[in-house]
Structure 1
Amino acid sequence: MKRWGEPPVDPLLPPETVLGQADMAVIVCDRYSNVIYCNAFTEKLLGFGGSEYIGRSILSLGIAEEDHDQARDLARHVLKGAVWEGTFCNLRADGSTVYTRAYAVPLRHPSGAVEGIVIFAREALRSNQRDQDRYGLLERIGERLAASLELQQTLRRVADTLVPQFADHCFIDLYGGEKLIRRVSRHGGEWNPPPGTWAEVGETVAYPPGHFCAKALARRDAVVVEDVVAERMTAPSAASKQLGDDLGITSVIAAPLLARGEVLGVMSLALSSISRRPDPHYDGFDRDLVGAIASRVALAIDNAMLFEEERETALAFQKNLLPGDRPPHLDGLEIAWRYEPARPLESHGQGIQTQVGGDWYDVIPLSAGRVGLVIGDVEGRGARAAAVMGQLRAALRAFAQDDKPPADILMKLDEWVRTMVGPGGYGEPADTAERRHPLVSCTYFVYDAWSRILSFANAGHEPPLLLIDGEVIDMEAVGKGAMLGVREPGLGGEILYEEETRELPPGTTLVLYTDGLIERRPKDDGEHYTREQAREMLRESVRRADRKDVEAIANAAFEAVPGDIDDDVAIVVVRTNPVRLQVEQRTFQAEPIMVSEARRMAAETFANWGMLDEQAELACLLVSEVVTNVVLHAANTPAPRRELVLEGALGLDGPVGFDDPWDKLPDLGRPEPPTKDFTLRLRRGERSVWVEVLDKDMRLPRIRSAGETDEGGRGLYLVDQLAARWGSRPTNDGKAVWFEIPLKS
């Protein structure tokens, strides 16, 4: 309370006056982690501070090197608008160590934008230096373990925390079957054990019965050797014993890694003369501390192993549902594909991990050498998304065999997607108020390598890139249709997928990809890019790789955008043949005499192509059978029923009735039946010859079971038995019957 006669207190004291009296360090940084203010207590606590540090990085205030990643994580977290709390190890100017507990909040502009970071720090423990190190170590281990579920990352974090603060050497050995396998070998400074002495990472380890690690495993409790020299400790080998003597190993601790009653392995620590510590010996308190640390480490290892097992199972499940590692050999195309699952997300204080997703792709052989290409993405992650993806791939392969246009295939797939998940969606109760269905984006292409015609339709997917003569463009469809599964069954509102057709010049490259390629997670201090910026980087990377092979283009596309992949990435690169493939075709009238003409054309073409006589003869036989079938059915096709209506075009006033005198009608002559024809198309590939017969009859052929006395009905049976593959497909004005004959060298 202000006394009578005292001057009034200024209510607007400068912030520096208030913060200068605070009994904790207050540090203010800009968006780039450069110090713009630190109060007087900062120098008292950290040993660094003052006006000479303004403008320097916060790392210059003595943050230990092993905590630099944690400092960057603090900046990323707070600049997004969140708060951060954790423990740092700081090396003071006098060489001593102090553990500080830091609390960081965003520094906001009056508009609400985050302009910097405010950090409040205090000493973690007020006790002697060694006790402070011990308790601070336990706290930091817990924080590090909570930040990752990836096994190798978890082990590395533990070793980096223990060395060199608490140990000069750290080993972690885990059981792989019945044997111990070294997973971590971490040492102070830049030193590493010479080959043939201590076991290296990946090698098996066998401890003799008297070894302190063997005792720890047998007792299921931590074991400490306070003075190695006095106790004459045993060693796994003479070489390892000699190395320990040369290094001056003074004290060791081993603790079993126990989780849920099971021994996972053993962690051992050692002190040696390389650190020149004032007291290079462990005691009973250190043993208990390492035992507590080992319990936490074992639980983290067990969780990481369970997570990795689940993730590897889902990943193997997904990879087995995708095509194999090598694309199929197809005429007129070079194909490369790449699939990369997202890596686990590491974030301070979080156990969030990314799982495999539902990205998928496929290359489907169609009729007469044509090819179906598809790339898509299923909403969600994990095994469920992978299962839906597998069903989608199987369904699309089945639908594609109908050889219908891409837009029709997408409509059929959309209907299938909307009915594949029952009420309640992914395992939800059937009476849930909301009915969920998987949402799927995909683009389906059909390419004919002989005509170079590409037809495609898009269902809400990223447009592919088209690389022609060094120019890269987004190949947008006429209309980008909605994702599959958007509509609810029974609610109407038909969704149409529009189709586009293009002729691809020789040597054209098509790059298909999923959105995980351009939606990257920035790395440490990395810049975040918008989708359009990422697309432009992708276009530029593909443009630079124009003259390289398809594998190099796929790799260039994957490396185009900096950052870690936050979602699965699927890439398919397709390049058309630089030279035209061999094809011959001719149109004939559908008359019996033309069967021999069609066979003669086929025989001459096969001879020019260098086919073996027996192959050419077989192919000509099947040509005769298919052409004969077309001619017979074309001749027997019933003509459409017509009405006899004679209008004014014949010079009459109106329709002619049956009571009118027919002798007065003009002489119309006998109407000629419409001329019918068929086209024989022969295609030569590297390994096969395809034969197509196209006609105007819409009826698709089927194999008949001919009786013993039937004169016909065996033509398609011969084709089915002698050709490698055969089939029929509807065309815009009729149908096409085709078969394949493999070429033999």
Structure 2
Amino acid sequence: MKRWGEAFYNGALSGADVLDQVQIAVVVTDRFSNLRYWNAYASKLLGLDDGRDYLGLPLVDVGIHEADHEQLAQLARRVLKGDVWEGAFAVLRGDSTWVHLRASAVPLKHASGTVEGVAILANEALRSGRVEEQYGLLDRIGRRLSSSLEFEATVKAVAEILVPQFADHCFIDLYDHDRNRLLRRVSVHAEGWTPPPGSWPDVGEEVHYPEQHFVRKALRRLETVVVSDYSHPGGIFPNSRSARVSEQVGVTSVIAAPLRARGVNLGVLTLALSGLTARDKTDYDSFDRDLVGAIASRVAVAIDNARLFEDERDTALAFQSSLLPRDFPEFDGLSIAHAYIPAKPLDPHGQGIQNQVGGDFYDVIPLSAGRVGIVIGDVEGSGPHAAAVMSQLRAALRAFAQADREPAEILRELDEWVRRLGRPDGEGGTWVPSVSCLYMAYDAWSRELSYANAGHQPPLLISDGEVSDLQMAIRDKLLGVKPKGVPGDSVYRQDVLTLPPGATLLLYTDGLVARRQFGSSVDVAEGLRQLQAKIREVADKDVQQIVEVAKRAVPGETTDDTALLVVRSNPEELALRQEWFPAEAPTVAEARHLAADTFKEWGMDRDQAELACLLVSEIVTNVVIHATPHPVTREFTDEGVKDSDKQLPLDGFDDFDEDWSDLLEEAEQNEESPSVSREFLLRLRRGASSVWVEVFDHDLRLPRIRTAGADDEGGRGLYLVDQLAERWGSRPTPDGKAVWFQIPMHPSDNG
């Protein structure tokens, strides 16, 4: 054995022989952590080879575990500053056995006061298998904590690791900071034992600890408290009944460790040993205290992360829900159900879980005369940018649709819109998201479905108990994607389908079928087959049941969110009557009589029917007056603008001051053009609670409302329609335009 010379210590080692007799390891290093002295017990405890010269070797070379090298460096830094250090080391001995040391380190000072070295006093804490067992426990807990961000699953899994390997009972109590109370969140026990009712607090109950209770002490001091060989169980749990129960199960030792993360005290972890499990160890010691303290630190951070994740996830889902329609108004002739399914973990360990909003969207948009626009789409990726693209895209689509634009035209506009929403990709270019989108305009009375498709999968058609893909002849490129070699703007096409009576459409995004099942790879075709099979079983059920079955139809998990929309046509609620009339003055009365007879046949309220007939007269009269093929000219004079020959002004309906009777007479006397038909179509639609009136003519100009003067005879037609109808509008048609209004069948329907 080598010793550092007495000259260096100024006589400090004159008792070296005494140190060789004590049953504690004494090791001395210089300022650079090189060995200068060790006593006989240190040689034995560390398993040093007597035939090897260790003098001057770094302390780490005596077998200090690699994981503790940083801790050893911290020891040196602290002690060389004059402080005292306490901690633990794992050492691999020469015979390949492990020993765990509890150590204290103090500075060795020269007579001048300068620190010349470090003296380490150590003793055995654990040996061999127990060290490996505890390291394995920490490793398993660490891996479990790192594999999940789900709060409930995380804390319960940790408790089940600790019991029964390290404890017979495990409790986790967490603060409800809003109400300033401590709640039991986990209660796990060995051998399947359950505390009797009314003894130890159950999960979800508030916990009250006496002021002198060891748990209260741990929370107050923010340090781990161990109670070894506890012979008075009444002090362990917070009431007399729990004290009796703890005595019955034979609680012998307990540890309470505060759960503190990021400066906030979250709660407390409590472990207890009792007679439930046959084990050699019956009392916790200081090493167990340090181990549980380390575990509690990891658990606290995991709990805090899980809470932050769940708060962020709740915020993300609330944001996502706010971007999607929560509910739809009643659409006559249609039943609608919908759902948004957020992404879930890829596997039971939480791999792949994302805490971000997605870009899936859906909508049902009221169009003119009871028709609806049906849309579903998916923005590439997830996160705030995808959600922002989705929200702007949906708003733009709704605006285009309510302007009665054609499906193909809407997709062309959206394609350009998506390109403008690109962002820098970090490499000098622009990242443009790709978006799948299917837009359909559906007329429930004719069952005609006009659609354009930007790369979205076709919906399922449910009809007469059969389920299949809706046969769509068109599927163009995704929005935002410009095919190589294609000059100019991308072209989107549209087509028209006629659905069977009572048909149901199920629209979905690919997250519904693209799922990883039982560890296998994603098989979209198999997922679609499973979806169709499950939907076939509920094909005759209501739309909400179809949605619920669709959500669970394909097993497995997906990292993609899902939008789901089911629309069913109910033709029994609908009725339609239409007739062509020549655009002549006498036909105004004929059209009004047809409307009156039809409204009476449909059971419309008498007052509502009279009001509707008044509005029919207004729009039919305007058609008769203004649906003329004669060219319109305007003469600009010093007195202002004057319409030549009293023809229709360029602005369309109601922009005139003449008396209607004169204009009707004039319209009747006008010569008709042989090349253009002067006729109009009056179409009446009935839904479950409303009536729609449409008038079609061959004039391409759309009407507008104007404010008539006090002395004007005309100019109030559309103003009346606007004031008295529930909704009204106009839209272009391939050979002219349509003007329409909606009115409830009964006054109560108007609210």
Distance (whole Å) between structure 1 residues aligned to residue 353 and residue 539 of structure 2: 39
Aligned equivalent of 1:211, options 196, 210, 213: 213
Per-residue deviation, residues 361-405 of structure 1 (Å, max 9, x unmatched):
111111111111111111111233222211111111111111122
| Residue in structure 2 matched with residue 718 of structure 1 by the alignment | 720
Per-residue deviation, residues 99-152 of structure 1 (Å, max 9, x unmatched):
xxxxxxxxxxxxxxxxxxxxxxxxxxx944433322221121111111122222
Change (3 A) 1:150 1:637: farther
| Residue in structure 2 matched with residue 26 of structure 1 by the alignment | none
Distance (whole Å) between structure 1 residues aligned to residue 674 and residue 397 of structure 2: 46
Counterpart mapping for 1:566-645 below 5 A: 566-577=559-570, 579=572, 581-635=574-628, 637-638=630-631
What amino acid does structure 1 have at the position aligned with 2:569? T
What amino acid does structure 1 have at the position aligned with 2:618? E
Q: Tell me whether 1:333 sits opposite 2:334 in the alignment.
A: yes
| Residue in structure 1 matched with residue 57 of structure 2 by the alignment | none
Offset at 1:180?
1.9
Offset at 1:345?
4.1
Offset at 1:578?
5.0
2:345–2:557 Cα contact (<8 Å) kept: no
Offset at 1:557?
1.9
Change (3 A) 1:481 1:490: closer
2:677–2:698 Cα contact (<8 Å) kept: no
Distance (whole Å) between structure 1 residues aligned to residue 363 and residue 524 of structure 2: 25
Q: Tell me whether 1:302 sits opposite 2:304 in the alignment.
A: yes
Distance (whole Å) between structure 2 residues aligned to residue 459 and residue 335 of structure 1: 23
Distance (whole Å) between structure 1 residues aligned to residue 323 and residue 196 of structure 2: 45
Distance (whole Å) between structure 2 residues aligned to residue 303 and residue 705 of structure 1: 62
Distance (whole Å) between structure 2 residues aligned to residue 130 and residue 232 of structure 1: 31
Offset at 1:232?
4.1
Q: Tell me whether 1:503 sits opposite 2:498 in the alignment.
A: yes
Three-state SS of the structure 1 residue aligned to 2:431 is coil
Distance (whole Å) between structure 1 residues aligned to residue 516 and residue 438 of structure 2: 25
What amino acid does structure 2 have at the position aligned with 1:493? G
What amino acid does structure 2 have at the position aligned with 1:281? D
Q: Tell me whether 1:184 sits opposite 2:179 in the alignment.
A: no
2:573–2:687 Cα contact (<8 Å) kept: no
Instruction: State the number of aligned residues.
Output: 585
What amino acid does structure 2 have at the position aligned with 1:156? K
Distance (whole Å) between structure 1 residues aligned to residue 242 and residue 743 of structure 2: 68
What amino acid does structure 1 have at the position aligned with 2:523? T
Distance (whole Å) between structure 2 residues aligned to residue 741 and residue 620 of structure 1: 11
The CA RMSD measured in Å over matched residues stands at 2.6
TM score, norm. by length of structure 2: 0.74
Aligned equivalent of 2:429, options 427, 434, 444: 434
Offset at 1:720?
0.7
| Residue in structure 1 matched with residue 533 of structure 2 by the alignment | 540
Counterpart mapping for 1:166-245 below 5 A: 166-177=166-177, 178-230=180-232, 232-245=234-247
1:466–1:511 Cα contact (<8 Å) kept: yes
Bigger mean CA offset, 444-453 vs 569-578: 569-578
Per-residue deviation, residues 600-631 of structure 1 (Å, max 9, x unmatched):
11111111112222111111111111111111
Distance (whole Å) between structure 2 residues aligned to residue 356 and residue 372 of structure 1: 25
What amino acid does structure 2 have at the position aligned with 1:548? K
1:700–1:735 Cα contact (<8 Å) kept: yes
1:479–1:497 Cα contact (<8 Å) kept: no
TM score, norm. by length of structure 1: 0.74
Distance (whole Å) between structure 2 residues aligned to residue 289 and residue 559 of structure 1: 44
Distance (whole Å) between structure 2 residues aligned to residue 399 and residue 163 of structure 1: 62
Q: Tell me whether 1:444 sits opposite 2:445 in the alignment.
A: no
Offset at 1:229?
2.4
Aligned equivalent of 1:288, options 287, 290, 306: 290
Change (3 A) 1:340 1:675: closer
Counterpart mapping for 1:302-321 below 5 A: 302-321=304-323
1:519–1:566 Cα contact (<8 Å) kept: no
Offset at 1:189?
2.8
Change (3 A) 1:708 1:538: same
Distance (whole Å) between structure 1 residues aligned to residue 486 and residue 365 of structure 2: 33
Q: Tell me whether 1:482 sits opposite 2:503 in the alignment.
A: no
| Residue in structure 2 matched with residue 40 of structure 1 by the alignment | none
What amino acid does structure 2 have at the position aligned with 1:626? I
1:477–1:499 Cα contact (<8 Å) kept: no
% same residue: 58
Distance (whole Å) between structure 2 residues aligned to residue 696 and residue 743 of structure 1: 29
Change (3 A) 1:540 1:351: closer
| Residue in structure 2 matched with residue 514 of structure 1 by the alignment | 509
Distance (whole Å) between structure 2 residues aligned to residue 677 and residue 323 of structure 1: 41
Per-residue deviation, residues 505-525 of structure 1 (Å, max 9, x unmatched):
1221111111111111334xx
| Residue in structure 2 matched with residue 357 of structure 1 by the alignment | 358
| Residue in structure 2 matched with residue 381 of structure 1 by the alignment | 382
What amino acid does structure 2 have at the position aligned with 1:468? S
Per-residue deviation, residues 34-87 of structure 1 (Å, max 9, x unmatched):
xxxxxxxxxxxxxxxxxxxxxxxxxxxxxxxxxxxxxxxxxxxxxxxxxxxxxx
What amino acid does structure 2 have at the position aligned with 1:710? D
Three-state SS of the structure 1 residue aligned to 2:496 is strand
2:345–2:352 Cα contact (<8 Å) kept: no
Distance (whole Å) between structure 2 residues aligned to residue 353 and residue 610 of structure 1: 55
Distance (whole Å) between structure 2 residues aligned to residue 230 and residue 250 of structure 1: 9
Offset at 1:433?
1.7
Structure 1's consecutive aligned runs of 4 or more residues displaced over 6 angstroms after TM superposition are 347-351, 488-491
2:514–2:558 Cα contact (<8 Å) kept: yes
Bigger mean CA offset, 274-283 vs 400-409: 274-283
Distance (whole Å) between structure 2 residues aligned to residue 190 and residue 589 of structure 1: 88
| Residue in structure 2 matched with residue 36 of structure 1 by the alignment | none
| Residue in structure 1 matched with residue 4 of structure 2 by the alignment | none
Three-state SS of the structure 2 residue aligned to 1:380 is strand
Distance (whole Å) between structure 2 residues aligned to residue 672 and residue 313 of structure 1: 66
Q: Unaligned stretches of 5+ in structure 2?
A: 1-97, 99-125, 634-670
Offset at 1:240?
2.5
Change (3 A) 1:367 1:671: closer
Offset at 1:558?
2.0
Three-state SS of the structure 2 residue aligned to 1:495 is coil
Distance (whole Å) between structure 2 residues aligned to residue 350 and residue 340 of structure 1: 18
Q: Tell me whether 1:411 sits opposite 2:404 in the alignment.
A: no
Change (3 A) 1:549 1:348: closer
Distance (whole Å) between structure 2 residues aligned to residue 150 and residue 415 of structure 1: 41
Change (3 A) 1:556 1:127: same
What amino acid does structure 2 have at the position aligned with 1:514? T
| Residue in structure 1 matched with residue 48 of structure 2 by the alignment | none
Offset at 1:487?
3.1
Larger Rg computed on CA atoms: 2
Three-state SS of the structure 2 residue aligned to 1:204 is coil
Distance (whole Å) between structure 1 residues aligned to residue 184 and residue 220 of structure 2: 18
Change (3 A) 1:598 1:628: same
Three-state SS of the structure 1 residue aligned to 2:627 is helix
1:589–1:676 Cα contact (<8 Å) kept: yes
Offset at 1:351?
7.7
Q: Unaligned stretches of 5+ in structure 1?
A: 1-97, 99-125, 641-668
Change (3 A) 1:386 1:252: same
1:443–1:458 Cα contact (<8 Å) kept: yes
| Residue in structure 2 matched with residue 164 of structure 1 by the alignment | 164
What amino acid does structure 1 have at the position aligned with 2:467? V
2:346–2:558 Cα contact (<8 Å) kept: no
What amino acid does structure 1 have at the position aligned with 2:386? A
Per-residue deviation, residues 688-743 of structure 1 (Å, max 9, x unmatched):
11111111111111001222232211100111111111101111221111111123
2:408–2:494 Cα contact (<8 Å) kept: yes
Distance (whole Å) between structure 2 residues aligned to residue 190 and residue 386 of structure 1: 47
Change (3 A) 1:504 1:490: closer
Change (3 A) 1:330 1:672: closer
